Structure 1
């Protein structure tokens, strides 16, 4: 059991996991706390929306609909892997489910079959709605599955939970089939791999062989990045920006710090969710560490 995350802490841990986070309207105070308790929290529940289109899906999850007021979850995960936060507190996503399942989640043991609906899940679970029609045909892009993995791992890491604290709606409430299109066992293996420090595993079992720890270039300080600076670190940074889809280069990148480097880095900061002065294109430590620029070999 754990105390629910604050809104600020939720944003912090999701972004620290490398996710792009969008804060929707008044999500920080948007909840159903007047209708029942929120917490202690015990796990993370994954759903699919049975909708298409990011804007429409986010609006439905924020507002709800006749007979079921919003928020309908805490975050919406779109096809690009972005997280749209729509609620903070009790949300109408889990409904009544099986007390034996809740007990297994708390104890982090194998899940039993869900054959009862006797326990309030809205009190105990963070909920993420993933945009998918749920017809078994609508694809699940890898970016979206990786975002599910990252979001769940971020919350589990904060609370000290294992992957067994992450379940699908279909494992909680009899008659539900979401999420449909991937297995929760496979997703839990991915989350377990990430919690062990291995990143996404594609649903495969972690490699038992020890892997060398990657070596990244330490943050050289914001003052390092100025007109006239010439360093292989700038080239390595530029190559990583290109790999992340943030290139604003017409040629290069090269070792000299240029306006193209600044604009490319600003695109990276924006991709991480930074705005204003935090997205001016001058590297800061948080964004630099997330870029993972390979260290120079000596």
Structure 2
């Protein structure tokens, strides 16, 4: 029987494998244990999220929704390779699956094709949601794939498991297709290669955060076509637009790097979200509102 390590030990074993870990609020105590036991654990299950934007994805996986309360996994593996821990214990990620697959995972043998939904997978598996639309077109960056490999290897190394203990949701529950965009046989091969290393390799480099210059951004914002006769472009505009997309106020980023009227309206919505109103919510960034946007959605601000 394999019992899960303590939350602190779990986070550390991931770091020891070179994983960049982000601990989200009360993840250590956030679980669904009141609905049933978690453990003994027998494997690692990989999913894709069908969502866009890391911040939104992490929030959904932590909190869940009306039909499926969170946590929806133990960790969210973002496109930049960071692993956001959102829960520890029973999580709503696996659902009912094939008991014959579970038996194969326990025995370290190749699993049969799943054709039943008769066994509670939330009890027996670690679950990791990977930020991806799952449409077969959304890319899987190298940093994200390596993070999946490292996470799976870290858990297998801790428990002494074979890579056959790492499965996809599509191998567990009939009708599921996740993860879509790579094969689990390929990923298990990567995990097997990593487990041959006696000691974990060096950590993945921490992703470098973009920096937005407030004065340049304001200059670009104040010269959009409705405010002046000319426009000013600045590369930081796209960084801010990406954050507004993540926050749900903008549909997409634009390629030109100028602060257009759509971006003004989206930023004004962000200002209103922060409690500003009237002329204080005019869509022109201020230091406080921009710093709060950057802190939440992954960039730094210089004045």
* Shorter-chain TM-score tier: 0.5 to 0.7
Query: 1:67 Cα shift?
Result: 1.2
Please give the TM-score of this superposition, normalised by the length of structure 2: 0.66
Shift of 1:5: 2.0
- Structure 1 distance, partners of 2:44, 2:154, is 11
Aligned residue in 2 for 1:105: 105
2: CA distance, partners of 1:8 / 1:87: 12
- Residues 148 and 244 from structure 1, CA distance in 2 versus in 1: closer, same or farther, beyond 3 angstroms? closer
1:195 equivalent in structure 2:
195
Hey, what's the Cα distance between the residues in 1 that align with 2:193 and 2:15?
19
Structure label with greater radius of gyration = 2
Conservation of the 8 A alpha-carbon contact between 1:77 and 1:130: yes
Q: What are structure 2's unaligned runs of at least 5 residues?
A: 209-303
Equivalent in the alignment of 2:92: 92
8 Å Cα contact 1:136-1:181 kept in structure 2: yes
- Residue 156 of structure 1 is matched in structure 2 by 156
Instruction: Show the counterpart of 1:35.
Output: 35
Cα offset for 1:198?
8.4
Q: Distance in 1 between matches of 2:148 and 2:88?
A: 18
State the partner residue of 1:3: 3
Mapped pair 1:68 → 2:68: yes
Q: Give distance in 2, aligned partners of 1:131 and 1:86.
A: 14
Equivalent-residue separation in structure 1 for 2:197 and 2:12 (angstroms): 19
Q: Deviations over 1:3-57 (max 9, x none)?
A: 0121101110011111110000110000000001110000000000000100000
Q: Is the 8 A contact 1:76 1:85 kept in 2?
A: yes
**Structure 1: how far apart are the matches of 2:88 and 2:197?**
28
Normalised by the length of structure 1, the TM-score is 0.67
Q: Which residues in structure 2 correspond to 1:158-173 (within 5 Å)?
A: 158-173=158-173
Matched, 1:77 2:77: yes
1:181 matched to 2:153: no
Q: Using the alignment, how far apart are the partners of 1:110 and 1:93 within structure 2? A: 22
Quote the RMSD (CA, aligned, Å): 2.2
**SS of residue paired to 1:122:** helix
Q: Could you say which residue in structure 2 is the equivalent of 1:45?
A: 45
Contact (CA 8 Å) 2:80, 2:207: kept in 1 or not? no
Relative to structure 1, is the Cα distance of residues 199 and 182 closer, same or farther in structure 2, using a 3 angstrom cutoff?
A: farther
CA distance in 1, matches of 2:207, 2:175: 41
User: Distance between the aligned counterparts of 1:133 and 1:10, measured in 2?
Assistant: 28
Native 8 Å contact 2:20 2:206 kept in 1: no
Runs of 5+ in structure 1 lacking a partner? 201-213, 217-239, 247-298
Q: Is the 8 A contact 1:193 1:199 kept in 2?
A: no
Task: Count residues with an aligned counterpart.
Answer: 208
Q: Which portions of structure 1, spanning 4 or more consecutive aligned residues, are displaced by more than 4 angstroms?
A: 243-246
- State how far apart, in whole Å, the 1-side matches of 2:63 and 2:207 are: 33
User: Any residues of structure 2 matched to 1:226-265 within 5 Å, and which?
Assistant: none
- Per-residue CA shift, 1:235-294, capped at 9, x if unaligned? xxxxx99x8777xxxxxxxxxxxxxxxxxxxxxxxxxxxxxxxxxxxxxxxxxxxxxxxx
